[in-house]
Structure 1
Amino acid sequence: MTPILELFQLSKSYPAPGGKEAVIVKEFNLNLEGGEFVTIIGHSGCGKSTVLSMVAGLTSSSGGAMILGGRETNEAGPDRGVVFQSPCLLPWMTAFENVMLGVNQVYFTAPMAERKELAEYYLSVVGLGSAMDKYPGELSQGMRQRVGIARAFALQPKMLLLDEPFGMLDSLTKMELQEVLLELWRRNQLTTLMVTHDVDEAIFLSDRVVMMTDGPEAEVGDILHIPFERPRNRAAILADPRYAEYRNHLLDFLNNRSHIRPSKLAGAQALQTQPMRAAASAGLATQPH
C-alpha cells in the first residue's frame, strides 16, 4: 500500500553568524498510511512544530522531499487541514462564518446550500449546533477550538495537521475535545499528524508515536506502536497493563535517550566495521580467538 504522506530526509536550517547554518531538523524520515493517526513528541525546541509546519507548507524545507497523495509538494494547500494551539478565528465573523470562509474558497463551484450544509454539519458534530451565530469573543477557549476543528474537517482534506491543539485548555476541556476529535477522526478516517508534549494524550489518540531527538539537528529517535483497539475507551486504556509499559517507554526516551541520534550511532558503527571489511577484501580478516 502506497503511503498517503512520505517524508524523505526532510531538513530545515537557518543562516547563522559566521556564514554557518543552524540546522534545526536534519533528514527527518517518516511515512503515514491512509487513515493513520501519528503523533510527534519531543522536548521544547526539538523541531516538532517545524516538521509539522513544513508538512503544512507554511515553512519551506531546506532539503529532502515530501510526497502527499503520490505528488511531490512543498506548498500549502486545502488538501491539508491545520489546527493550531490557538484557533486564529476572525473576531468580526461568527463561528459559522469562520467555517464558511474556508468552505467557500475550496468548494466555490458547489451550490451555496451544500456549502452551508457542510459548515453546519461539522459545527454540529463538534457540539456547537446552538452557537453557530456567536462571535469568537462570546465563546470560551474550548468552544473556539471546536470551531477550529470544525473548520479543518469541513475542508475535507487528505490530511489533518494538529499543532498542540489542546495545549491551552484545562484538563477537563482537553479530555472532552480529545473525544470530539476521535469521533470526527473515526467518521472520516482522515490521516492525521499531530504534535504534542503530552505523553498521555499521545498514547490515547495515536496509532504510532514518533519520538524526536533533542535539537539542533533533530531527527526521528524512536517510534512506538500503540495497538489499542478502536474506538477507544479512556477508562479501559488506563486499566490496561500495557498502558504503563507504553508510558514508561515514552518517558524513558524523553528523560534518558532523547540526546541520542540514531544516525550518528549508525555512522559510528559503519566506521567501526570499515577496517574489518577492508581486511576481508584483502584476505586478511582475522579469525576469532
Structure 2
Amino acid sequence: MKWLVVFAVAFTQFSYANEESKKEITSIEELIQIMNDSRKVEEVVRVEEQILSRVESGTNIGGGFATSDDLSIWCNTSNMILETYYTEAKFQGKNFFEANKLLSKGLYLAHGKIANENNSTFTLKALARGLELVNLIGAIDPMSSKESLESANNVLNHYYDFILSAVTKSLDLSAVIPLLSDLESCSDCRVDFEKFEYRFVEYAKMQLKFISIATLGKKNGVFYPVGNSEHFLRALELFSEKTKEDLRNSLWKERFSCAIAELDVLYMQLTLFNQGSRSMYRGRIEMAVQGFAQKMNTIINELNNEESCK
C-alpha cells in the first residue's frame, strides 16, 4: 500500500494552478495541478483517507506483480478508487468542471503511475486510455464551455462504467487472472485459450460500443451526436486506433484481418478530419458524424458476427 500513501501525500502538496493561464494541458503533471486548483487540501486528504480505509491489504501493490493474487488485489483496489471518485464527482451536481477534475483524478490515481512490465492487465491499459481521453475532449480545460464540460462529463461517466463492468470485472477478474492462476498451479495443464480470446474480442467490441453509448443517439436510422460532436470524433479516433492494436494482438487476428484494415482506414480518416483537413464530408460536422458512425457500426457488426472478411 506504500504507493497509494505516497500519492495521497504528493497530491496534497501540489501548488494550486492558475485558472487564468488558459493553456493547453500537455502533461500528467499539469493535469494534476488543474485537478487540485480550487480544491481545499483538507478535502483532498479526506478523499484519499476514504480510499485507504476501504483497501485492506499488506501487499505492495505497486511492485512485483509476481502472482495472479497480486494482480487481483491491484484490480480490486483500482475499482475501489474509481468507485470512490465516481461517487465524489456525482456530489458536484451541475458543477461539471469540478466533477470532471475528480473523475480525471480517479483515473490517474487508479492507474497509479505504475510502469511495471509485469502488470499486463486490461484495466491498466483502459486507465491509460482514459487519461488520453480526458485531454482529447477537454474535460478539465478551463477554456471549455459549460455545454462542452457537461458533454465531457457524460463521456467520462460512461467510461467509468465501461472500465468497472466490461474491463475489470468481465475481463481481468473473470478471464485474465483466472487464466494466470491456472498456469501458476499447473504449467503443463491444458488451458482454455479459446474462452480467453472470446472475452478479448468482446473487450475490443465494447470499446467501440462505449463510444456509441456515450456520444451518439439514433432516430429513424440516422445517427446524431449527444452533446459535443467533436467529442464523438476525437473519442472514435482514439479508440479506432486502440481497438485495431488490440485485435492485432489477438490469436484470432487473421479471422478479423478485414476489420483491422477497416479500423486502420477509419483511424487515418478521423485523424485527417480532426486535424482540419475536412474536404471529406464537405467539411460538415453533421455529415461526418453520420458517416463515421455508420462505418463504426459496420465494424461492430462484423465483429459481432465474426465475419470480418466474408
Output the TM-score relative to the length of structure 1: 0.32
Which has more radius of gyration? 1
Of Structure 1 and Structure 2, the greater strand share is in 1
Higher-RCO chain (CA-CA 8 Å, sequence separation at least 6): 1
Output the TM-score relative to the length of structure 2: 0.30
